[in-house]
Structure 1
Amino acid sequence: MTTEHTIAELDDADTALAYDAIRALRPHLTSVDQYVDVVRAQRKEGYRIVASFDASGQVVAAAGFRHMTNLYAGSHIYIDDMTTLPSARKQGHAGALLKWVDEEARRLGCTSVQLDSATHRHDAHRLYLNSGYVIPAFHFSRSL
């Protein structure tokens, strides 16, 4: 198991490096260009990406997040996307990303880190619960 992880925030020029990792979670993104365009639009809303690299320098895990303030949670970081390539799972990459996000949230004066996770992602749920996350609510959605 890897004990050291190289974690870095990706700027606009490096966004494409996270495509393979993000696509593991978001398979509807069918090209690097489409992904970069979507992220570029989201960056205008404060979206940021942090990545975990393997020994060869490939991004194997990524977290997309934004700093938000709302009535129910106050100032917090919301993780939109948290994903690891299947070949790199169970090596500590996602845990290292969660720690990085926690540190960034503290730096920004946030009171919490929030995220949603699909109901079938049991391994991710185990990671979140083992990392101190709780399930305070159900998330409801309605397609229009």
Structure 2
Amino acid sequence: MRDRQYTIRELSGPEVALGYAAMHELRGHRPPLSSEESFVAWVSGHPEGYRLAGAFLEGEPEAAAVIGFRPMTLLYAGRNLYVDDLSTHEQARGQGLGRALLAWVEAEARRLGCDELHLDSGVQRFPAHRLYLKFGFDISAHHFGKALK
């Protein structure tokens, strides 16, 4: 079913709600995804410039896949675009939407003058890792985190 047409566009304001269901697949346990309204408010008011783009299958009103990202500058990486989230509805997987969103965000990173594109991925997400490696990402670090609550 890879030949189904899609479009990609950035979502802002009330349109963020069109990406809620796709993002819920990945991050439904997080408080900002407790409702469409809270998700829209979180994205719209993000203090670090979080942005959201969606891939829409032809004839479907909601995004089948979404990518959340933000520009940042780090000492070790310079100006880069960081991908916080990449999520595809289960029924839309295997249609190239994740790859298409990565290509879209790479073009956006280049447009913004970024030197690099970065993302972290949970160690258990093997299909995602295959996608990232095929797309040209390298495993360049181990990410460590510590809960403070």
Matched AA of 1:37: A
1:49 equivalent in structure 2: 52
Q: Tell me the TM-score normalised to structure 1 length.
A: 0.94
Deviation of 1:4 (Å): 4.1
Deviation of 1:97 (Å): 0.3
Moved segments of 4+, more than 4 Å: none
| Aligned residues with identical type, % of pairs | 46
1:72 equivalent in structure 2: 76
CA contact (8 A) 1:6 1:54 kept: yes
Matched AA of 1:63: I
Over residues 21-60 of structure 1, what are the superposed CA-to-partner deviations in whole Å (9 max), with x where a residue is unaligned? 0000001222112212221232x32111111001123300
Residues 142/64 of structure 1: CA separation in 2 closer, same or farther (3 Å cut): same
2:126 equivalent in structure 1: 122
| Alignment equivalent of 2:101, drawn from 82, 85, 97 | 97
Distance 1:2 1:17 in 2: 23
Name the count of aligned residue pairs.
Answer: 143
1:35 aligns with 2:35: no
Provide the secondary structure at the position in 2 that maps to 1:59: coil
Deviation of 1:3 (Å): 6.2
Q: Tell me the TM-score normalised to structure 2 length.
A: 0.91
CA contact (8 A) 2:72 2:81 kept: yes
- Cα RMSD (Å) of the superposition? 1.2
Provide the secondary structure at the position in 2 that maps to 1:6: strand
Gaps of 5+ in 1: none
